[in-house]
Structure 1
Amino acid sequence: MARVSQEHLDARRRQILDGAARCFARNGFHATSMQDVLREVDLSAGAVYRYFSGKEELIGAVVGEVLDIIRGAFETALRQSPPPPPDVLMEEILTKVLRPDTGITYEGESGFPRLMIQAWTETLRNDELSALLRDGYTKVREAWVRIVRAYQDAGLMRADVPADSVARTMIAMAQGFAAQQALFGEVTVQSMTEGLRGLMSMGQPRAS
């Protein structure tokens, strides 16, 4: 029997994750069954269960991938000295996670906001997912803290404000953006970053 290449295995796993993410974004976690995922990816049960034991593991893998994308964006920012200002950094991060080619799509658009809203509610009953999100939140907050301290060291931000407080505020802004887009579909990355830029301009001279 011919040996299946690692490239083929990786591509099949990617196919399953992308299909599951589309199903979750479209119908939610509870309304999506493994049969829905099988139909979406057009694979047999045996092919899918070779990679994932069931829906719970699929949910964790999809959410984990989103958190990895966010962490990667922060790692890129931290390699710059100083990092990009908050409005630019927020735009870069949200643009990355909202790319339709991540496989998380809903009606042709990124399904990330819908998926994250569902993940937050799912944590109320799923201890494993709660732990995954808590760990992801902690790592994102730590990354923001390092970025804020870099701003403060460069004299770009007040040093008397706790870096952790700024980090939590920036995370809350991103979470609020996801909630607004998922619920109302009216907010864009540009509008949010423009609003953040306006807040950052307080106390600065008005442009002539």
Structure 2
Amino acid sequence: MARVSQEHLDARRRQILDGAARCFARNGFHATSMADVLTEVGLSAGAVYRYFRGKDELIAAIAAEAFAGIRGAFEEASQSTPPPSPDVLLGAVMRIFLEERIPGGDSRAFARLIIQVWSETLRDEHLFQTLAAGYDGMREAWASLVEAYRANGLMRADVPADHVARTMIAIAQGFIAQQALFGNVEVRVIEDGLRALMSMETQSRS
């Protein structure tokens, strides 16, 4: 029997994850069965279960991959001189996360999937650990960016880097929640809003 190449295995795993993400985004996590996923990806049960034992493993893999991709984008940005401003960076990452994650997909549906993933962490310890690790990685990535901003004279130094990191993550989470609940929120909205807030000048009180 011919050996299956790693490239083939990786491509098959990618096919399964993309198909599952489309299903979950379209119909919701609980309303989607593994049979739905099999139909979506056009593979046999044996082919899919070789990689994932069920929906919980699929959703955890989707979440972990998303965090890894976003953290990578932030870490790459921190190496630029000067690094892109928060409005530009967050806008770029949100486009990748919401608009490009499911080719031709519905960004509002995918935002709703993210909200479902968050709620699943309340009952699924493994998924909680996956998201907690991703959140900690995001904090570290943003903290590195803060240090890069300061090294380039772009940000004041009297606020802890982790406070800035948590705030930027909260902005992204809030944007995703708005998209999930109300839709019709273009990424440029968050870019414009951040740019306006960044332009404010604080006046010292007498």
Deviates more, 1:24-33 or 1:119-128: 24-33
| CA-CA distance at 1:111 after TM superposition | 4.5
Q: 1:142 aligns with which of 140, 143, 155?
A: 140
* Paired residues of 1:98 and 1:112 also in contact (CA < 8 A): yes
Distance in 1 (CA, whole Å) between partners of 2:188 and 2:102 is 22
Q: Secondary structure at the match of 2:96?
A: helix
Q: Which residue of 2 aligns with 1:103?
A: 102
Q: Which runs of 5+ in 2 are unaligned?
A: none
| CA-CA distance at 1:104 after TM superposition | 6.7
Distance in 2 (CA, whole Å) between partners of 1:125 and 1:189 is 31
Distance in 1 (CA, whole Å) between partners of 2:96 and 2:105 is 16
Q: Which residue of 2 aligns with 1:167?
A: 165
Is 1:11 the equivalent of 2:34?
no
Distance in 2 (CA, whole Å) between partners of 1:140 and 1:104 is 24
Q: Deviations over 1:86-141 (max 9, x none)?
A: 111111211222233x337644x475422211111110101100011011001101
Is 1:34 the equivalent of 2:34?
yes
Q: Which residue of 2 aligns with 1:125?
A: 123
| CA-CA distance at 1:42 after TM superposition | 1.4
Distance in 1 (CA, whole Å) between partners of 2:147 and 2:6 is 42
Tell me: CA distance 1:118–1:132, structure 2 relative to 1, closer, same or farther (3 Å). Answer: same
Is 1:74 the equivalent of 2:74?
yes
Q: Which residue of 2 aligns with 1:83?
A: 83
Distance in 2 (CA, whole Å) between partners of 1:149 and 1:6 is 38
Deviates more, 1:73-82 or 1:129-138: 73-82
Runs of 4+ in 1 over 6 A off after TM superposition: none
Q: Which residue of 2 aligns with 1:191?
A: 189
Letter in 1 for 2:61: A
Distance in 1 (CA, whole Å) between partners of 2:158 and 2:14 is 46
Q: Deviations over 1:50-96 (max 9, x none)?
A: 11111111111111111111011112101112311111111121122
* Paired residues of 2:22 and 2:105 also in contact (CA < 8 A): yes
Is 1:178 the equivalent of 2:176?
yes
Letter in 2 for 1:66: A
| CA-CA distance at 1:162 after TM superposition | 1.6
Task: Quote the RMSD (CA, aligned, Å).
Answer: 1.7
* Paired residues of 1:19 and 1:103 also in contact (CA < 8 A): no
Taking structure 2 as the reference length, the TM-score comes to 0.91
- Identity across matched positions, percent: 64
Tell me: CA distance 1:65–1:105, structure 2 relative to 1, closer, same or farther (3 Å). Answer: farther
Q: Secondary structure at the match of 2:112?
A: helix
Q: Which runs of 5+ in 1 are unaligned?
A: none
Distance in 1 (CA, whole Å) between partners of 2:162 and 2:103 is 30
Distance in 2 (CA, whole Å) between partners of 1:21 and 1:64 is 13
Distance in 2 (CA, whole Å) between partners of 1:2 and 1:145 is 48
Is 1:55 the equivalent of 2:55?
yes
Q: Secondary structure at the match of 2:156?
A: coil
